[in-house]
Amino acid sequence: MSVLVVGSIGLDDIKTPLEEQKNLLGGSTSYASVAASFFAPVNLVGIVGDDFPKEHVDFFRAHRIDLAGLQVVPGKTFRWSGEYMWDLNTRETRSIALNVFESFEPKLPPGYETTPYVLLGNIHPNLQHHVLDQMKGPRFVIADTMDLWINNTPGELQRLLPRVHMLILNDSEARLLTKQTSLIKAAAQIRNGGPAYVCIKKGEHGALLFGPEGQFFSCGAYPLEDIHDPTGAGDTFAGGLAGHLASLDHSTVTFDSLRKAVVLGSVMASYNVEAFSLERLRTLTPAAIEERYQLFKRMSQFEVVM
């Protein structure tokens, strides 16, 4: 089955302690769509200016991503410039230019409204609402968010929660949203607000998944020797997760299928940070995904059947 991915598409300038690259393909939709496309057909919803390089459109097409929802309008594409500190864990936004993204209204082309799986990338909660308003009974809706919306549009975000099945956010955002230091308490509080499932990302330390009836899963992070560019790790994670769910032939999503989805999301993110922008995803193969998935399996097993 298909997954609808909505969010930003942009051109990034990225500086790490070792390297600087400009005019890179970026944005949450780009990362999430391409990651999801390894598992399931993707319907993309986003906006770019008429300066958006054709090669990036071709790249999406090569991944069989449906682009009926890609709006190309006169003007400049969204641009972001960021710099990572020495440990690659903290970053500073150097500049941001919304450009055509400022007037983005995610309008679904005919046929998209019945997509069973929906990934609402990290955009203004009102845009996320607007997408859901157009959907017809989606099977599973995942929403991503960030500190900006938690601080600036808390009401809109709270109203979104009962409309989604799963919220993905990182540990500091979960604490900010709930004013709880314990992630367990934070997840329980978010679940009380609506979503049956909460996934808390802990960066290099993995991810936690919380579900109904106290169900809990802890996914260790794949230990990387060389991280080149952390940009898009969270979006790639969400995309891989959503793509795996959409690839299943189940009529309902279960906690057990979500466990595997979290691991596959982690696998995708672990590959993505090995190179700038989406470069590593260009050469990634299903065999490599399976290989690292097996590695995750081995590295987290502690009762080995001899």
Binding site residues, its own copies, CB under 8 A? 86-87, 181-185, 202, 205-206, 208, 216-221, 223-226, 256, 259-260, 262-263, 296-304, 306
Q: State in angstroms the smallest separation of the CB of 3 from its own copies.
A: 20
- Where would I find the H helices in 113-232? 125-134, 147-152, 154-160, 171-178, 183-192
Q: State in angstroms the smallest separation of the CB of 305 from its own copies.
A: 10
| Dihedrals phi, psi of 300, to nearest 5 degrees | -110, 5
Q: How many CA atoms lie within 13 A of 117 on its CB side?
A: 30
Report the residue number, 199 or 278, with the smaller CB distance to its own copies.
Answer: 199
Report the residue number, 150 or 267, with the smaller CB distance to its own copies.
Answer: 267
Q: State in angstroms the smallest separation of the CB of 88 from its own copies.
A: 8
Burial 284-304 (b: 16+ CB within 10 A, else e): beeeebeebeeebeeeeeeee
Report the residue number, 130 or 202, with the smaller CB distance to its own copies.
Answer: 202
Report the residue number, 103 or 216, with the smaller CB distance to its own copies.
Answer: 216
Matching residue, tokens 């500049």: 95
Report the residue number, 149 or 210, with the smaller CB distance to its own copies.
Answer: 210
Report the residue number, 130 or 260, with the smaller CB distance to its own copies.
Answer: 260
For residue 262, the SS3 value is helix
Report the residue number, 103 or 254, with the smaller CB distance to its own copies.
Answer: 254
Burial 183-222 (b: 16+ CB within 10 A, else e): beebbebbbebbbbbbbbbbbeebbbbbbeeeeebebebb
Report d(CA 304, CA 288) in Å as an integer.
24
226 by Cβ neighbours in 10 Å (0-12 / 13-18 / 19+) ranks as: exposed
Cα→Cα distances 121→142, 192, 285, Å: 8, 22, 24
Q: State in angstroms the smallest separation of the CB of 204 from its own copies.
A: 9
Q: State in angstroms the smallest separation of the CB of 25 from its own copies.
A: 27
Q: State in angstroms the smallest separation of the CB of 259 from its own copies.
A: 4
Q: Please say whether the beta carbons of 249 and 277 come within 8 A.
A: no
Q: State in angstroms the smallest separation of the CB of 143 from its own copies.
A: 22
Q: State in angstroms the smallest separation of the CB of 63 from its own copies.
A: 26
Report the residue number, 95 or 181, with the smaller CB distance to its own copies.
Answer: 181
Residues making up the chain, counted from first to last: 306
